[in-house]
A and B are shown apart, each in its own frame.
Chain A
Amino acid sequence: GAVVSQHPSWVICKSGTSVKIECRSLDFQATTMFWYRQFPKQSLMLMATSNEGSKATYEQGVEKDKFLINHASLTLSTLTVTSAHPEDSSFYICSARAVAKNIQYFGAGTRLSVL
């Protein structure tokens, strides 16, 4: 089946540093990739949607200058958490939707801990 690879799986960093998370679709082309954040015991919340070659669309309340998304190719999207702070500590999950399909495949998630 389709596979989405997300790296790193776990990051611990100091407050103020930037963290980049990669999301790759391994055996299909993804026109659209989604970035979610999940806090403990809460639902996945969509942060932004990115389409290959265009600017990401951010959900209300998500700062685009803090969460930089790049979707340069049909198989790769990156999320950069700039100047991370402890309140950014969360589980970040990417998802990719295959071209002409209504199925989303999820990455394994990245657990970010900001000290």
Chain B
Amino acid sequence: RKEVEQDPGPFNVPEGATVAFNCTYSNSASQSFFWYRQDCRKEPKLLMSVYSSGNEDGRFTAQLNRASQYISLLIRDSKLSDSATYLCVVNTPWGNDYKLSFGAGTTVTVRA
């Protein structure tokens, strides 16, 4: 079983729409959670951390459900510039350390 699983999409939405997607993770000992954004042929960039109480950053809202091992991301009022692949990333125990485990990404395309 993959450590992090995501719906690959693609989600094709018009400007101004709301789009939401999620991921699940397999290791219940995971401690921290993130959403990264990756543009084509570029490195991943941190979009936001995800906290247990849920958190918002502008038009982006992230939720975490530890019991279900489920993380979600919602984008309101979509902009063309939101078109990207969104990676669900989980910090998982690895020996005496932690490592980031990446989902395969959810592709979002916002059209005019």
Per-residue CB proximity of A41-65 to B under 8 Å, as 1/0?
1111110010000000000000000
The answer to whether A41 and B99 have CB atoms under 8 Å apart is: no
Q: Contacts of B43 on A, CB cut-off 8 Å?
A: 93, 106-109
The answer to whether A34 and B42 have CB atoms under 8 Å apart is: no
The answer to whether B102 and A43 have CB atoms under 8 Å apart is: yes
With A43-B4, A43-B87 known to touch, is A106 a contact of B45 (CB < 8 Å)?
Answer: yes
Which size bracket describes the interface of B in this complex? 10 to 19
Q: Which of B8, B32, B105 has the most A CB atoms < 10 Å from its CB?
A: B105
Cross-interface CB contact of B42 among A32, A41, A44, A109, cutoff 8 Å: A109
Identify 16 residue pairs between A and B in the complex whose beta-carbon atoms are under 8 Å apart, listed by A's number: A32-B97, A34-B99, A36-B102, A41-B104, A43-B87, A43-B103, A43-B105, A44-B44, A44-B87, A44-B102, A91-B41, A93-B43, A102-B98, A108-B43, A109-B42, A109-B43
